């Protein structure tokens, strides 16, 4: 049930975004991809989510040939920096979306959907907000809705692209502790992209420091901090 990323490469028109990235993570791990902008971390995340096509390489997850599946079948809950909430739907409808679009055979009943939405609203501490629209929420609340929406489909994997990037420092700190708590409760494998190394090291089990389309170093936060393997990692950590 572990995640095995093997030599994934991606080239955009002008520059290589990923130069053969390999990474293994056990089931239920919380992995942070950290690095400066343009290091390829978001590209890797989007490839895992099925939003971008890899030029070469393979990914195995839960014994599935992951890259051959379309985004819609991967059950990878994706959370965007700018929330990407459906602005024309209430919070509850946003959360229920992933359940309502299932084929009729797999779709839970209306009552089951309602219960599941309530449960998720409680989980993200927005019980009173189900009937509101996204425009009526604060940034931190919106990101919690986005997370609840991703969790509603019982994802195999959670992919978070700078989820707190648009929030102020205080809210960021609260939310990351809370995110870790949710991750542990849900028991999914989470990949978390951030440019903020402090955030990455505080929340993740494993940290991959990326630079120019490569993973410079990958390991437990304490190990990486104690023993930076490259000049880049050392400099990045001291920044």
Partner 1 sequence: MSAFGLALTPMKLRQRRVLPGFGLSLGFTVFYLTVIVLIPLMALVIRPFALGFGGFWTEISTPRVLASLRLSFGMAALAAVIDSFFGLIIAWVLVRYRFAGKGLLDALIDLPFALPTAVAGIALSTLYAPNGWIGAILIAHGIRIAYTPWGVLVAMTFIGLPFTVRTLQPVMSEQSQDVEEVAATLGATRLQTIFRVVVPMLLPTLLTGTAMAFARGAGEYGSIIFLAGNLPMVSEIAPLLIITKLEEYDYAGAAAIGVVMLAAAFVMLLALNALQAWAARRR
Partner 2 sequence: MSGKFQNPTQDPLLLRIFLSLVAIGFVALFLVLPLLIVFKEALADGLGKAFAAIIEPDALSAVKLSLLAAGIAVPLNTVFGISAAWAVAKHDFSGKTILVTLIDLPFSVSPVVSGLIYVLVFGLQGWFGSYLLDHDIHILFALPGIVLATIFVTFPFVARELIPLMVDQGRDEEEAAISLGASGFSTFCRVTLPNIKWGLLYAVLLCNARALGEFGAVSVVSGHIRGQTNTMPLHVELLYNNYDYVGAFAVAALLALLALLTLVFKTILEWRYADELAAMHRH
Q: How far is the CB of 67 from partner 1 (least distance, A)?
A: 15
Choice between 166 and 237, CB closer to partner 1: 166
Residue 84: contacted member of partner 1, partner 2, none (CB under 5 to 8 Å, by partner type): partner 1
Interface residues with partner 1 (CB under 8 A)? Answer: 49-51, 70-78, 80, 82, 84-89, 97-98, 101-102, 133, 135, 146, 149-150, 152-153, 159
Cβ(24)–Cβ(3) below 8 Å: yes
Which among partner 2, partner 1, none contacts residue 163 (Cβ within 5 to 8 A by kind)? none
- Shortest Å, Cβ 53 to partner 2: 4
Residue 202 interacts with which of partner 1, partner 2, none, CB < 5 to 8 Å by class: none
**Complex with partner 2: residue 50 or 163, whichever CB lies closer:** 50
Nearer to partner 1, 146 or 186 (CB): 146
Question: Where on the chain is the footprint of partner 2 (CB under 8 A)?
Answer: 50-51, 53-55, 67-68, 70-72
Of residues 77 and 221, the one with the C-beta less far from partner 1: 77
């Amino acid at each position: 049930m572990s995640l095995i990323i093997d030599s994934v490469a991606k080239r955009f028109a002008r520059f290589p975004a990923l130069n053969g990235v390999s990474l293994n993570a056990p089931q239920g791990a919380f992995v942070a991809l950290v690095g400066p902008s343009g290091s390829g971390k978001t590209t890797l995340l989007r490839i895992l989510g099925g939003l971008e096509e890899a030029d070469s390489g393979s990914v195995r997850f839960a014994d599935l040939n992951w890259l051959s599946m379309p985004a819609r079948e991967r059950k990878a809950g994706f959370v965007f920096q700018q929330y990407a909430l459906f602005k024309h739907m209430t919070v509850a409808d946003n959360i229920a979306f992933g359940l309502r679009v299932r084929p009729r055979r797999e779709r839970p009943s209306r009552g089951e959907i309602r219960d599941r939405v309530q449960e998720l609203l409680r989980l993200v501490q927005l019980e009173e907000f189900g009937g509101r629209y996204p425009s009526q929420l604060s940034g931190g609340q919106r990101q919690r809705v986005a997370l609840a929406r991703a969790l509603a489909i019982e994802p195999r994997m959670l992919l978070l692209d700078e989820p707190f990037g648009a929030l102020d420092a205080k809210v960021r700190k609260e939310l990351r502790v809370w995110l870790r708590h949710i991750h542990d409760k849900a028991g999914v494998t989470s990949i978390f992209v951030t440019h903020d190394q402090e955030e990455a090291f505080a929340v993740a089990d494993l940290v991959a420091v990326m630079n120019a389309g490569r993973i410079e170093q990958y390991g437990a936060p304490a190990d990486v901090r104690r023993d930076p393997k490259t000049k880049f990692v050392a400099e990045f950590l001291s920044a």
